Chains A and B, each alone.
Chain A
Amino acid sequence: MANQEKILIARQEVQSALNEELTELPRRNSNKINEGIRNIGLRVASILTLILIWWLLSLFFPPTLIPKPSETFTEVATIVSTGNFFSGMGSTLRRVGVGFGIAMIVSIPLGILMGTLRSFESFFEPPVILGLTMPGLIWAVLMIMFFGLNETSAYAAVAITIMPMLAISIWQGTKSIDKDLIDMSKAFHASPWSKVVDVILPQLISHILAAIRYGLGLAWKVVVVVEMFGLSNGVGYQVVRGFNIFSMKAVLAWAISFLVVMIIIEFGMIGWLEKAVTKWRPRAEAWRR
């Protein structure tokens, strides 16, 4: 009896030792969290350093050339509180959004056709390459001359600047589509709609997102130029207005608030979208790609 109890106790000890070992395993995680905090800290420090340098420079230059950071942020607060910021930013975002929409509607089918049909590929390759090479600023000028100083030229300039890039990504993405999955979808008699939505587009989504990221960078530049040329609202217009009254403070305030919105969209929204549409992919797989 006593012996058996001893054995039991010994077993329990072994068991609890094993359990302890198990609970020790996840420890590495806390390191990762520390690392994460450190990285965020470094980023914050980097931004603070930039502001510090700005502030130092502002001590040596007149405020018409380099205004103080505090004054500039006050100006930011003013444009935000008066609602100017939202109407100006809204116009700019609408132009980028509509231009993007047009570009996607044209480029996604075009890219898919170029990736699937040889004849489409050969026919559209030259214009797409030419379009890609053309600087966005020249597109902006051309569109303004063609459509005049109105919304249409802004939409068109954004759309035509990013279209080639979007088409190329989707064209290349389509060429790398898994043909076996297409055969599978044929074997199960998937409808053409289901083939596109369930089989083809999901394979293109990461290409499309990468193209959107890159396209946004181009679109911001183009839309601001069109607005500078002669639209009566939007971020570009506000910057030019600041320039005309020679208010460095106003120019910087608009530039900074625009920057913040762009960063929120590019890293916040697109990043979130990326995560949402790739949650089917385990981490390790994501690394390998």
Chain B
Amino acid sequence: MAYVRVDGAVKFFDREDGTDMLVLEKVSFDAQENGITCLVGPSGCGKSTLLNAVSGLETLDQGHVEIVSNQSDAAHLPRIGYVFQDPRLLNWKRVEGNLIFALKGMRIPEEQWQERIQKYLNLVNLLEFRKQYPLYLSGGMRQRVGLARALVIEPEVLLMDEPYSKLDQLTARKLREDTLSICTRLKQTAVLVTHDVEEAAYMGDRIVILSARPAHVTEVVDNPFQPVARDLDDLRFIEFKKKLLKSVLRSMQ
């Protein structure tokens, strides 16, 4: 497994008029091993940009991202699984084809494919749909395929960018529960980006609060509840959620 260290991340984007727009203003945080780190902040603050920087899709103007893995061979590229806000599936490939696309991309030996597809589709409860095309599945199921595609490469770090924000409330809630239990079971190091404070309180072992744009870290909160003890109706948990909401609101000013 691995952990992530982001140190002094700075990122500018070009505005339409050509001027610079500061999006990340020296963001630093650690994502600990075997746990979910939640980045919570208002929409447009730079969360996706930050996650893209961690994955290497986006380069930083200053600062750096370190993915420290116990597979300490120098040439080793860290394996990163990415779950997007939209499922971003290849709709012309069957469910298993979408998983194979990731396996192939990450150069996983072909003899492991079938076993892994079986294991991870089973984990997200979609084994019986492995031959189905994505557009025949519901939104929640498609998002599960996206999760399975990220897990099937057995990533050292799992990145999730608001993966539930486009789902209806009930589907999102179920998927949150399932993702949390899967990550706990796999001892998965994960970074989850969200603007939903309840989601952060429920999913995050550690919650990193970001300010409005330009994003910087205003507070880091460790979740006092173990994953199994996070009960949305429990009064103490609600208390914790409220406290977190206050911190997030404060950080937006």
Interface residues of A (CB under 8 A from B): 180-181, 183-191, 194, 198-199, 202, 277, 279-282, 285
Contacts and interface: CB of A to CB of B under 8 A. Distances in A.
A186 B59 CA distance: 13
A200 to B, nearest CB: 11
B91 A185 contact: no
A190 B105 contact: yes
B84 interface: yes
Contacts of B94: 280
Contacts of B77: 189
Contact of B104 (A186, A194, A285): A194
A285 B101 CA distance: 24
User: Helix, strand, loop or mixed for chain A's interface?
Assistant: helix
User: Helix, strand, loop or mixed for chain B's interface?
Assistant: loop
A198 B101 contact: yes
A280 B84 contact: no
Interface residues of B, number: 25
A281 B102 CA distance: 22
Interface string B88-130: 1011111000000110111100000000000000000000000
14 contacts: A183-B57, A185-B105, A187-B57, A188-B102, A188-B105, A188-B106, A188-B153, A194-B101, A198-B93, A279-B133, A280-B91, A281-B91, A281-B135, A285-B135
A198 B100 CA distance: 11
Contacts of B133: 279-281
Nearest to A184: B88
B86 interface: yes
B148 interface: no
A191 B105 contact: yes
B82 interface: yes
Contacts of B188: none
Contacts of B86: 180
B45 interface: no
A181 B88 CA distance: 6
Contact of B57 (A186, A198, A279, A281): A186
B20 to A, nearest CB: 22
B90 A202 contact: yes
3 tightest Cβ-Cβ pairs between the two chains A and B: A188-B105, A280-B133, A187-B82
A202 B107 CA distance: 22
Given A183-B57, A185-B105, A188-B153, A199 B90 contact: yes
A218 B191 CA distance: 55
B135 A190 contact: no
**Residue from B57, B90, B153 whose CB has the most chain A CB atoms within 10 Å:** B90
Contacts of A187: 55, 57, 80, 82
A183 B91 CA distance: 15
**Residue from B80, B101, B107, B133 whose CB has the most chain A CB atoms within 10 Å:** B101
